[in-house]
Structure 1
Amino acid sequence: MQEERERGRIIGLRKRRLETAAWAATFIPLLAEARLELPEYAGRGEPSRQAYSNWLNHPSREIPSRNKGSWKSETIGRLFDIHIGLIDEAEQEFDIAIAIIRFKWKHADAEARKALADEEARVRDDRAKDINDAYRLSAHLRGRTYVDQDIPPRLQIVSSVRKKRSKPKQEPVEVQLSLF
């Protein structure tokens, strides 16, 4: 494993994720203003995505979308669901960091394993924070409040003893072939 390369991947993912989140956060006040001006759609308490896109495309505002084009209802939907991509990138960072820790764990002495266990706890806390931040951003874009939630750990703790799974043996099945 090339740890430096993997840590570089983490840095790249984090940089892209933070830039995306910062870009999306610039729309929080704009969408709040739009909610005040636009009528609610179908009793949901929120304007339609098409209404948002029309509001952002209005000639007096001329706010470009991420790809510098005009806003469409699908673009608004992707903006509201931006947390999906942010969480995906946070999970990729987490997976890489855990892989590094697990690789080091195999060759570590007792003192190094304690440091690795501390690093794993920090990585898990960072993952929970990143996921909550992504959900919070999406909620703020929609004009809602968000309360942080506990994120259940997805992977086992590195320091735990693992049992190897044995595959159940399958009995050979006899098949009788007939020409009639």
Structure 2
Amino acid sequence: MEICNLGPDVMDEVREMTGVSMEDAGYGRWNTRCHLGAWIGDTAGGCRNYLDTFANNSQFAMTLSNPNPEDEDGLCTIIIAVLQKNRREMKPQGFENLAIGFSVYKVNEIRGHLDRNFFALNKSCARSSAFINLREVTGRFRLQPGSYIIVPSTFEPGREGEYMLRMYTNVSISSEELG
């Protein structure tokens, strides 16, 4: 048996063993969103350094609401993780981990897939600390309630692979892949 990553549901097991829940201890319940995706063909657009192809990457809309009233700054805590799938199984065939990362953009409203012009005029409000060839990259951020677009990507365009995007937060969250 192999365990790759724990999620916030592990706290349910802690409650079963100890009788103390996260809510009883003064912590809110964490919400999880998970999306599967792939960088294939045109959707392998590379990072923002490659402005002409960056908008071709899959984009995921996320809305954060109802910040924790105990947080005086009114911000929402979110953990974003991108994990590349099946690379270990492909290592004997010469496939190494890709250099991966993600960028987060604040938007006033979600109108659909963002284009090159948007990315040329707007900087990310959050991003992975580096594009690196690890199995998973993760970042913890404090964001204002509102709407955001997350763009997981490889560093270079044309690098193909599958990934899983996960978001963990203790506030209300909705998310969807944009077409």
TM-score range, shorter-chain basis? under 0.3
By relative contact order (CA 8 Å, sep 6+), the higher-ranking structure is: 2
Asked which structure has the greater CA Rg, the reply is 1
